[in-house]
Amino acid sequence: AKNQAGLSEPLAIHANETTVTIDFPEEFKSKALTGDIKFYSPVNPKWDRDFKIDSRNNSVTIQRNGLQNTRYVVKINCTVDGKDYYQQSDIVLRS
């Protein structure tokens, strides 16, 4: 989390009817991103989902077909250039 605070901007999370997109800061552009994204449901643990990050596109797109229409706490752990970053954000998915 300390490394996260030093970034020019936080990770941005956007959702539409079919996908959730996570955009990483400009300083990650063209760099290898690895890590994981956890969608934690405070309502029902059966709705929790985990996704791997393996990207050079500065963003990750997740299909919503495995996610519920509910509030999630999105926990993002990633590594770029040997540095670890963590961000936690809330998102409410609606159809």
Q: State how far the alpha carbon of 55 is from the alpha carbons of 1, 33, 39, 90, 91, in Å.
A: 21, 5, 18, 22, 22
pLDDT for the residue numbered 53: 92
When comparing pLDDT for 55 and 77, which is higher?
Answer: 77
- Kindly report the pTM of this predicted structure: 0.89
- How far apart CA 88 and CA 5 sit, in angstroms, is 12
pLDDT tens for each residue of 20-44: 999 998 888 888 999 999 999 999 9
pLDDT digits (tens, 9 = 90+) for 45-72: 999 999 999 888 889 999 999 999 999 9
Q: Which of 87, 90, 92, 88 is nearest to 64 (CA)?
A: 92
